[in-house]
Amino acid sequence: MRLFVAIELPAEVRAALERIQQGVPGARWVPPENLHLTLRFIGEVGGGEFHDLMHALAEVTVPPFEVEVAGVGHFESRKVPTLLWAGVRPSPALKHLQAKVERAVRSVGLPPEPRKFLPHITVARLRDPDPLRVRNFLQRYSLFNGGTVPVAGFTLFSSHLSKEQAHHRPEVEYLFDEPVY
């Protein structure tokens, strides 16, 4: 089972993100229902690891907080843009939550995340993009404000890949003020 931990987005934030999904021909725009803020990509796990992870994540709790979705950016490989994202303003509370999720994942014997946590929401994946169109997108939406995301918990998702797009299914929702079991 392919897993990741993420914060789900309210409908108004998903709608704001959907409005900027334009202007880059050939981009594979993420469907609104798949937009999320990833705390930790886990990858493939077996049934026993899933069960252990499910219980370890139940121990993660922080006080509820909010994050702001703002700005846009991109990731690249060999100086070619591969992904467009909407940013998340720096938040000590979000960083603290992500660190606790990381510790929970590692506590069940899964390998540590090698990359530094850069909170973002993937809006498109790119293949052979026109650099001018990407630059125009980044300039046009540099002041993008997607709204506020209240964070009162997080979700463990499974991801099922297909040729068209990934399909994400919530497996367990963890709320900070309610027991999971």
Beta strands in 45-115 (DSSP E): 65-77, 80-88
Average pLDDT, the chain: 94
Nearest to 149 by CA among 10, 31, 39: 10
Indicate the range of 29-43, 60-74, 137-151, 165-179 predicted with least confidence: 165-179
Residue 36 known to be catalytic? yes
Is 180 a domain residue? no
* 113 falls within a domain: yes
Domain containing residue 66: CATH number? 3.90.1140.10
- Per residue in 137-157, pLDDT (tens digit) is 999 999 999 999 999 999 999
pLDDT at position 157: 97
Predicted TM-score (pTM) of the model is: 0.92
Instruction: Pull the structure tokens for residue 8.
Output: 């789900």
Which pLDDT score is estimated for 141? Answer: 98
181 is a domain residue: no
51 tagged catalytic: no
Q: Report whether pLDDT(159) > 70.
A: yes
Q: In the structure, what pLDDT confidence band is assigned to residue 179 with cuts at 50, 70 and 90?
A: low
**pLDDT band (50, 70, 90) for residue 122:** very high
The band of 161, judged by pLDDT with boundaries at 50, 70 and 90, is confident
Question: Out of 74, 120, 160, 167, which one is annotated catalytic?
Answer: 120
* Average pLDDT rounded to a whole number, residues 62-75: 97
Would you state the pLDDT for residue 162?
72
Domain assignment of residue 69, yes or no: yes
The predicted structure's pLDDT at residue 180 = 52
Q: How far apart are CA 152 and CA 78, in angstroms?
A: 38
Tell me whether residue 156 is in a domain.
Answer: yes
Residue of 36, 55, 167, 168 with catalytic role: 36
Are the C-beta atoms of residues 146 and 86 closer than 8 Å to each other? yes
Domain that holds residue 43: 2-175
- Is 60 exceeded by the pLDDT of residue 181? no
Based on the structure, what is the number of domains in the chain? Answer: 1
Euclidean distance between the first and the last CA atom of the chain, given in angstroms as a whole number: 22
Per-range mean pLDDT, top range of 13-22, 152-161, 166-175: 13-22
- Class of residue 164 by CB neighbours under 10 A (exposed 0-12, middle 13-18, buried 19+): exposed
